[in-house]
Amino acid sequence: MTDLTLLTIAEASSLIAQKKLSPVELTEACIAKTEALDATLLTYVTFTPEAALDAAKQAETEIMAGGSRGPLHGIPIGLKDIYDTAGLRTTGHSRLMLDRVPEEDATTVTKLREGGAVFTGKLGTWEFAIGGPSFDLFHPPARNPWNTECQTGGSSSGSGSAVAAGMVLGAMGSDTGGSIRSPAALCGIAGIKPTYGLLSRKGVLPLSQSLDHAGPMAWTSKDCALMLQVLAGHDPGDPASADVAIPDFSALMGKPLKGLRIGIVRHFYETDNVATDDVKAAIEASLVAFKEMGCTIKDVTLAPLQEFAAVNTTIMSAEAYSIHEPYLTTTPELYGEICRDRIMLGALIRGSDYVNAQKRRRELSIEVATAMADVDVLITAASPFPAQKIDAVPKWMMYDRPSITCPFNVTGLPAHAVCVGYNAGGMPLSIQIVGKPFQDATVLAVGDAYEAATAWRSRRPGIALDWQAKAAAA
C-alpha cells in the first residue's frame, strides 16, 4: 500500500491536479500518522485535525469543480507556533502566551491559506525561537525522528521533526541565527532562509527584527521552491519587506549545473568551528558530486565565524531584550529557564556596542559580497555535527562555538540547507548553499540538482516507515 505521507509536495500536487489523489485522503493519512507518532515525537503544541479535514474537504470540492489554486492546494502544512493564526492560539511555545489567540493571520499564513494549503496545527519551537531544548515549558521539546533520543536542532524544532517524519508535507520555520537551517540539517530535510525582505514577517512573533527571516521547510528543494512561490511578495505591513519582482523559483530547476562557480568556505568548519569527521567527509563527497555535474570549485575565505557570531549575538540579544523587557521584568516566572536567561543577558549590552555591531554588520556584508564577485554560490557546513542527545545541548553553546549559520542572517543572503548523506549511526548530515541577494531561485536549483543526482532523498527515518504496521497492531 502506498504511504501517502511520504509523497513530496510536488508529487502530491501533481496527483491532486490529475484528480488521482484526494486532498481528504492525503490529510487523513497525515492525521493518522500524527496520531500514531506524536506521542513519541512531540511535534505539535496545538494539533487541529478537524479544521484540517474541513479545509481538505473544501479544497477537494474546489479542485473537483476545476478551481485549483495552485501547487499547495490540498497540501497538509504545519506552522511553527510563532505564526499568528486568526482564532487559533499562537503561544511561542511559552506559558507567557499560553492563551493568546490572534485576531489576524500572519501575512504568510494568509498567503498559504489563499494558496489552498491545509493547516494541520501549530508546531513546537524553542520558546520564542531562542529557548531550547527546554523541559520546563507547557509542552516538551520535539524529538528527532532519526533517533528519538536526539534533539532536532532549533528553533524550528517541531517543523523539522514533522516534515522528516512525513506528518506534514511542508512546514513554516523562522531563522534568526540558523533556526530553519539547523533543524533542517539535523532532521535531514531541506529548508531555506530566504533573502532578508523576500518574505513578510508581519504576524510572526519577533525575536530580533533586523535578523528574523520567515521561510519554508520541506523534504526537497523543489518543495521549498513551491512553497516560496506562494509565500514571497511585498508586504507594506512589514517595514523590512522588499518591493522586488518575484521570480519563478522553480525556473532554473532541471537545467544542467555545468559551469556553475562554487566557492567553498572551508575555514568555517575546518578551523573556526571544527566539524566532526563525518560532516567533513560528507561535504567533500558533495563537492565531488558537484564537480561531476560540471561545476567549478574554488576556496573562498571570509572573515572568521567569530566575527559574524559577535555581530549576530550582540544584535539578537539586544533586540530580543527590547521585545521581552516588559514581560521579563514583571512575569519572569512564565518563561522557561533557558529562554529567560538567554534573553536577560541582552539587558547588559551597551548602546554603543549594539551600534558597533550594526556597523560591523555593514562591513561584513560588503566583504562577503566582494568575496562572491566571481562565484555564483557559496557552500559550507549547515551544522558542524549531527544531532546530539537532546539532554546534552549546552545552554550557552552560542558563546562557546560560533554559529555556522549566522553569517547569512548577518548578511541577509539566501541560505539553503540540503541533506548530503548520513553518518554511520544513520543521522543526517547537511550543507548550506548560499546565494547572492534575491537569487533564491539559484540556491534552490543547486539543491534540487544535487538531490536529483544523489540517492539521499529516498531514505526516511524508520519511525516514518513502519508506523502503519505499529498503528494496526496497536
Partner 1 sequence: MSDEAVSQEAFRTLVARAGLKLTPTQYTELGGVFPKLEAMAARLRKPRPVSAEPAAVFSPKV
Catalytic residue list: 80, 155, 179
Instruction: List the grid coordinates of 339.
Output: 529562554
Least CB distance to partner 1 at residue 412 (A): 4
Using alpha carbons only, what angle is made at residue 303 by residues 299 and 307, rounded to the nearest 5 degrees?
Answer: 145
The answer to whether residues 458 and 180 touch, using CB atoms and an 8 Å cutoff, is: no
Query: Residue 301 or 370: which CB sits closer to partner 1?
Result: 370
> Which residues fall within 8 angstroms of residue 204, CB to CB, at 6 or more apart?
82, 83, 84, 106, 108, 174, 212, 214
Draw the binding track, 89-128, toward partner 1 (x: CB under 8 A; -: no contact). ----------------------------------------
Query: Residue 63 or 410: which CB sits closer to partner 1?
Result: 410
Residue in 11, 353, 422, 423 binding partner 1, rule: CB under 8 A: 353
Closest CA to 122 of 164, 86, 71: 86
Q: What share of the chain is helix, strand, coil (3-state, %, to 5)?
A: 45, 15, 40
Q: Which stretch binds partner 1 (CB under 8 A): 131-139, 184-192, 258-266, 358-366?
A: 358-366
User: Under the criterion CB under 8 A, does residue 397 sit at the interface with partner 1?
Assistant: no
Using alpha carbons only, what angle is made at residue 52 by residues 51 and 53, rounded to the nearest 5 degrees?
Answer: 90
CA distance 170 to 156: 12
> Which residues fall within 8 angstroms of residue 35, CB to CB, at 6 or more apart?
49, 471
User: Under the criterion CB under 8 A, does residue 313 sit at the interface with partner 1?
Assistant: yes
User: Under the criterion CB under 8 A, does residue 400 sit at the interface with partner 1?
Assistant: yes
User: Under the criterion CB under 8 A, does residue 362 sit at the interface with partner 1?
Assistant: yes
**Contacts to partner 1 from residues 205-244, by CB under 8 A:** 210
CA distance 379 to 26: 35
Residue in 40, 110, 276, 356 binding partner 1, rule: CB under 8 A: 356
Q: Which stretch binds partner 1 (CB under 8 A): 29-37, 185-193, 281-289, 308-316?
A: 308-316
β-bridge mates for residue 264, sequence order = 299, 379
**Contacts to partner 1 from residues 405-464, by CB under 8 A:** 411-412, 437
* Number of residues near partner 1 (by CB under 8 A): 40
Q: Which stretch binds partner 1 (CB under 8 A): 88-96, 291-299, 305-313, 377-385?
A: 305-313
Task: Tell me: cis bond preceding 133? Omega within 30 of 0 counts.
Answer: yes
Residue in 125, 161, 317, 403 binding partner 1, rule: CB under 8 A: 317
Least CB distance to partner 1 at residue 362 (A): 4
User: Under the criterion CB under 8 A, does residue 329 sit at the interface with partner 1?
Assistant: yes
CA dist 208 → 76, 146, 204, 307, 355 (Å):
29, 31, 11, 18, 14
Query: Residue 239 or 254: which CB sits closer to partner 1?
Result: 239
Least CB distance to partner 1 at residue 393 (A): 16
CA distance 211 to 155: 14
Query: Residue 271 or 329: which CB sits closer to partner 1?
Result: 329
User: Under the criterion CB under 8 A, does residue 269 sit at the interface with partner 1?
Assistant: no
419: helix, strand or coil? strand
Instruction: List the grid coordinates of 21.
Output: 489523489
Least CB distance to partner 1 at residue 368 (A): 10
User: Under the criterion CB under 8 A, does residue 135 sit at the interface with partner 1?
Assistant: no
The answer to whether residues 415 and 377 touch, using CB atoms and an 8 Å cutoff, is: no
User: Under the criterion CB under 8 A, does residue 359 sit at the interface with partner 1?
Assistant: yes
Beta strand 170-175 with 76-80: parallel, antiparallel or unpaired? Answer: parallel
List residues binding partner 1 (CB under 8 A). 196-197, 210, 306-307, 309-311, 313-314, 317, 329, 332, 341, 344-345, 347-350, 353, 355-362, 365-366, 369-370, 373, 396, 399-400, 411-412, 437
